[in-house]
Amino acid sequence: MLNEEMFLAVREEVTQAKAILVAITKQRPIADIRRMYELGQRDFGENRVPELIEKREALPNDIRWHFVGHLQRNKVSGITPFIHLIHAGDSPRLIRQINKDAAKDGRIVPVLLQYHIADEASKYGLDPAHPAAVLSELNLKELPNVLISGVMGMATYTDVDEQIAGEFNALHEAFTFLKNKHFSEQKDFATLSMGMSGDYPIALQRGSTMVRVGSLLFN
């Protein structure tokens, strides 16, 4: 169930830091999303395409839907007609696929480059030590239907705040590097998506512009 008091407190804290709260509602009922909507929330995130499509059909159409988590290429076309932001641009092949499907819908779809900053094994995410490598593999001029609008990352799941802070700093550095060296002409390269239930205060301190908070908002 939605914890309204917690939701409002977290949103206030995030707004004070001039960041955007994306409420992650995967596996949460539509009634909870509707209640948050009534309380003024418009940014919601999901990590499964069928669930996202089902919820979108049941809810008001001014919601901004975010896709978080790994996206399979054969699922992309289900969300390109409406998605507000794809946080998980984790491979050149996926980004090319998004361009292709977005072109069919006549849309330009915003995508974040997802970097693997955690000290945990994962198949997904780009290498933050070489933030621009993905750009040399992609010729963005040939991909007019994607708009690379920032970066995203997930810190290690740990109690050690210094480690989390170090990982968020590394992501912020990759963001700044790309912004200055590769996107200086593009004002909308502006999103640094980092911070979840366990670490969003640290992320805000380290310059996050968008946090993705789920479990903390629910009982």
* Rounded least distance, CB 135 to ligand PLP, Å: 22
Task: Write phi, then psi, for 160 (nearest 5 degrees).
Answer: -85, 100
Q: How many CA atoms lie within 13 A of 2 on its CB side?
A: 21
Q: Write out the binding residues for ligand PLP, residues 185-214 only, by CB under 6 A.
A: 196-198, 212-214
Distance CA 25, CA 40 (A): 15
Binding flag, residue 174, ligand PLP (CB under 6 A): no
- If the CB atoms of residues 4 and 105 are measured against ligand PLP, the closer one turns out to be 4
Q: Write out the binding residues for ligand PLP, residues 50-89 only, by CB under 6 A.
A: 68-69
Residue 189 identity: F
- Please report where in the chains the tokens 């996050």 appear, as a residue: 208
Q: Which two tokens stand for residue 26?
A: 């995967």
* Rounded least distance, CB 206 to ligand PLP, Å: 16
- If the CB atoms of residues 109 and 143 are measured against ligand PLP, the closer one turns out to be 109
- Please report where in the chains the tokens 């932001």 appear, as a residue: 85
With CB under 6 A as the contact rule, the residue among 25, 47, 91, 149 that binds ligand PLP is: 47
* Rounded least distance, CB 125 to ligand PLP, Å: 11
Contact 150, 193 (CB under 8 A): yes
Residues in contact with ligand PLP by the rule CB under 6 A: 24, 26, 47, 68-69, 196-198, 212-216
